Structure 1
């Protein structure tokens, strides 16, 4: 199968390696230097047109909904062959997803939304959770490909349902992360041993993916980016956009969104999500 891959950020650059072992993979990235490490296993292109024009499948792993729409409409749609399957693995707005699905259908293409969860470790080790929306017959054809990148590949329903599932996932990510940060901040202020507290959290009812994977990094003050604040904020804004469309009140996510915006404004959007701890430190000096 000939596959075009667009977007080689922290996640995409790791995910694409798994499929390159089994397929003819062509890659494009706006910052050309990010393609260089892949030139031994993929065909590197300097423009999207040449990358996608003969592809059976185009996979997009891009930064924002606006970028996804622009790249698809301006750079992919005019150049792919009839019957090409477009897989958007970015986190995107569900309502934009259904719009792009319709545009793809009108052009005799297929659109599948397949956002992921599991962080850099999941991307590196092919253990991502992949949430899929789209036509079930098309998704069935794609399962062997998607299973090269994820250990939990789930069909969630028609177009947009993969993205809706990702919204629900990110609500839980946000609240679990904030809960971890608050519990560790409390432990610090009452002079508890952070490692002991984290061990007990992870052995009891308070355990979560955040406490297991990010808890040790927090204790060690390791703020190297895994999932950066800019992308986290994008996801939270997608959640709030969909919630507002439905007059759905999500007070915890709304507050966390405000906290992330504050840290980005004061520091750097490329920091790890664990940098959200600075919000607590600024408001709870010790």
Structure 2
């Protein structure tokens, strides 16, 4: 199979904070795009640009390649394994790509079921948030068949800049867990550093200029640190989804007999933030725990 705008029909399920931008890049590249979202209004911008709205079963029967970017593992299961889901309706030899962050074990399960149906499956979670989605600079971590990875690389190149094949099914999701572990503990550091700067009488904006370009520099510090200081807690990545990811990582760690105290601490703080009603805020809202 060759992937190109002239012959490949692409489906995209999940047009939320990140998915809308990602689907938009595919549409802008000239592909025939078919979309589904539970809340149709969130797809209006894409529909106005020429995308076609279809229910999941019909989308699966129509498309050569389908990408999913939904919220939680239960959503992934429903979309792929439900009675009206992708695997019951996908065309033979079509390619399904889940870019949601979900358990590696679920990716393996879907891959097994896909092979029974003569369908190809990749798990390809991403990192970079809404900024990376808008700018097409996402990091994409891919598990599944390397042959299929190479076939769909033109699509991945529309969405990201750092695209790495990690190995067999589930490997993409395991890599994303590594990513989230780094971010989880790093977000505590960013919040505590800026809190310290404020309480010590420093100008936190100047502090950011000094430490952002040094050894302490990180994506979270440079991109989310300024938002913390401005009180901008709009979601680039939801607190509720971050909690979901951390729980997946801890579950996988337990299966491997690992102890991850930093991740456990980060999860406990974000669960405290959730109890404050911040589930739909961006992950930088952890700053509120310190400034309350």
Q: CA deviation at 1:133?
A: 0.6
- Normalising by structure 1, we get a TM-score of 0.96
Is 1:23 the counterpart of 2:9 in the alignment?
Answer: no
Match of 2:199 among 189, 193, 197: 189
Would you say the 8 A contact 1:97–1:113 is kept in 2?
yes
- Normalising by structure 2, we get a TM-score of 0.94
Q: CA deviation at 1:110?
A: 0.7
The aligned counterpart of 1:234 is 244
The aligned counterpart of 2:88 is 78
SS of 1:159's equivalent in the other structure is coil
The aligned counterpart of 2:115 is 105
Deviations 1:155-188 (A, max 9, x none): 1111111111110011111111110101111112
Aligned CA-pair RMSD: 1.1
The aligned counterpart of 2:213 is 203
Tell me the distance in 2 between the aligned counterparts of 1:263 and 1:220: 18
SS of 1:191's equivalent in the other structure is coil
Q: How many residues align?
A: 282
Would you say the 8 A contact 1:63–1:90 is kept in 2?
yes
Q: Which runs of 5+ in 2 are unaligned?
A: 1-7
SS of 2:177's equivalent in the other structure is helix
Would you say the 8 A contact 1:27–1:42 is kept in 2?
no
SS of 2:48's equivalent in the other structure is coil
The aligned counterpart of 1:135 is 145
Q: CA deviation at 1:67?
A: 0.9
SS of 1:206's equivalent in the other structure is coil
Would you say the 8 A contact 1:133–1:156 is kept in 2?
yes
Deviations 1:207-233 (A, max 9, x none): 111111111111222112111101111
Dislocated runs of 4+, deviation >4 Å? none
The aligned counterpart of 2:261 is 251
Tell me the distance in 2 between the aligned counterparts of 1:203 and 1:103: 47
Q: Which runs of 5+ in 1 are unaligned?
A: none
Deviations 1:127-180 (A, max 9, x none): 111111111111110101110111111111111111111100111111111101
